[in-house]
Amino acid sequence: MEHPLQAWRDTLRELGVVGLVREPRLEPAAPQAAPQPVHRVVPEAPLPPAVPKAYAPPTGPVACPPAAAVQAAATLADLQRAIEGCLACPLGPGRMKFVFGEGDPAARLLFVGEGPGRDEDLQGRPFVGKAGELLDKMIGALGFSRETTYIANIVKCRPPDNRTPTPEEAHTCLGYLHRQIELIRPDVIVTLGATPLRELAGITEGITKLRGQWQRIQVGGREIPVMPTFHPAYVLRQYTQDVRRAVWQDLQAAKEWLDRPAGS
């Protein structure tokens, strides 16, 4: 039978502790109790240096671009310039990089996710982590690419610990996405997960129930069909054939809508 000390040592090894150093036993001073041995944990490798934060807290009034400047933006580049210093909601001060969105400025197919995660915050680009790799594969399987579609999020700054943006944060940021949609004029929007469906279409029912069912939104005087599907991060967590098949069906429905003959 394995000795309990052996099991303890194996557990420490799994946690990365490669050795224990026993302090030399001190000669006990006369009437005091004998000192107990002290174990010092030796880390396997030095910790990486902390990543410096690029953001410096504002010293003046909180910056929020006037709505007129957002509406006046005639191109996506104009819009990005107008809003990339935004500190209008509590997410702004915590961001490393502003994640505006990227892709074809005249894309027919627009993907909308929830908000930047850690990798996106570091790189300033949407969907660049593991979930992004999966999204790229799905887009590629449809016959598109990042360059021929557009990818954006409901909020443009990372929520701490990747939590869901609060309704207040989402509402504060939504005007920017609406202006993006007005400028891109996509024929179809695919929402990824529950948050973009809730914020864009005002639908609070669960994504499991609503995925695959066409919805419609009005932006800039245009009605745009919306196909709700699961977020790629959810697909990675629930990597079952059923979930993957469901997402694939939803994406194919979006593609079929784009491919339908004009006027039908």
Q: Which of 150, 106, 107 is nearest to 125 (CA)?
A: 150
Exposure string for 35-55, b = 16+ CB within 10 A, e = fewer? eeeeeeeeeeeeeeeeeeeee
Stretch that binds ligand SF4, among 21-29, 104-112, 169-177, 184-192 (CB under 6 A): 169-177
Contact between 87 and ligand SF4 by CB under 6 A: the answer reads yes
* Angle (nearest 5°) at CA 89 between 71 and 158: 100
Contact between 126 and ligand SF4 by CB under 6 A: the answer reads no
Contact between 86 and ligand SF4 by CB under 6 A: the answer reads yes
Stretch that binds ligand SF4, among 5-13, 87-95, 130-138, 209-217 (CB under 6 A): 87-95
Stretch that binds ligand SF4, among 127-135, 167-175, 184-192, 199-207 (CB under 6 A): 167-175
Q: Which of 207, 220, 135 is nearest to 179 (CA)?
A: 220
CB-wise, 20 or 77, nearer to ligand SF4?
A: 77
Cα separation, 248 vs 264, whole angstroms:
24
Q: Which of residues 217-246 bind ligand SF4 (CB under 6 A)?
A: none
Residue from the set 89, 110, 188, 210 that interacts with ligand SF4 by CB under 6 A? 89
Residue type for 210, please? L
Residue from the set 12, 88, 122, 243 that interacts with ligand SF4 by CB under 6 A? 88
CB-wise, 91 or 251, nearer to ligand SF4?
A: 91
**HSE (CB half, 13 Å, CA atoms) of 161?**
1
Q: How far is the CB of 179 from ligand SF4 (least distance, A)?
A: 12
Cα separation, 110 vs 1, whole angstroms:
61
CB-wise, 195 or 229, nearer to ligand SF4?
A: 195
Cα separation, 220 vs 67, whole angstroms:
15
Q: Which of residues 173-202 bind ligand SF4 (CB under 6 A)?
A: 173
Pseudo-torsion of CA 140, 146, 152, 156, nearest 10°? 120
Residue from the set 82, 107, 112, 155 that interacts with ligand SF4 by CB under 6 A? 155
Distance of CA 189 to the CA centre of its chain: 18
Q: Which residues bind ligand SF4 (CB under 6 A)?
A: 86-89, 91-92, 155-157, 169, 172-173
